[in-house]
Amino acid sequence: MMGEYRFVYSSPEKGWTEVTIGGDRIVVDAETARDVALLRGLADKYLGPGKELLTMPRWPGAYALLGQRSPVWEIYAIHSRPRAFEEQEIARLDPGRIGLVLLDNQALDGRDDLRFQNTHPLTYRFVREHFDRLPEGNDPRFELYVPKKPGEKRLTPIKEAACDIPGGRPFARSRA
């Protein structure tokens, strides 16, 4: 009975395919298989020894797929957080250890207020100041960033960064 179920619901003709994750072969839909291939390709290209992926605001499974821990606590950052929480998350980020930032800045549920740049403006600014955006063309769903080259100037020194939050104040990233 199981073989029949597999044939009916996961045959290649229906767009299902096998991928290996963590030594296990699993059957996934075509879009998921493309996402797995995309993530693995990006990791092969940008994540050398000692380099980590940072993916925001979603895709927490990317860390498991690549066998790494998230560099931040909030792995599914789709809702606004208090300023102090966002500052703590930024303090956890070490631009020297992050080899690739995969950022989904789409309007969640079609709502512009739920774009990552609007729900996490300090983190979004941190990424833009410490990383260079790769040219478009990889996948229109994501903004991809790589570390700035040594000696390259930041847009604004982080300790002097302005804040887009009404009544907000600039923050300083902890170097500890």
* Alpha-helix residue ranges (DSSP H) falling in the chain: 2-10, 30-46, 61-66, 83-92, 116-119, 121-130
Check: CB of residue 43 under 8 Å from CB of residue 53.
yes
pTM score: 0.75
Cis peptide leading into residue 57 (ω within 30°):
yes
* CB-based contact 165:140 (threshold 8 Å): no
Alpha helices (H) in 27-171, listed in sequence order: 30-46, 61-66, 83-92, 116-119, 121-130
* pLDDT tens per residue across span 126-166: 999 999 999 866 678 889 999 998 766 555 444 434 444 44
- For 13, residues 6+ apart whose C-beta sits below 8 A from its C-beta are none
What are the tens digits of pLDDT across the range 62-89? 999 999 999 999 888 888 999 999 999 9
Question: Residue 152: its pLDDT value, please?
Answer: 63
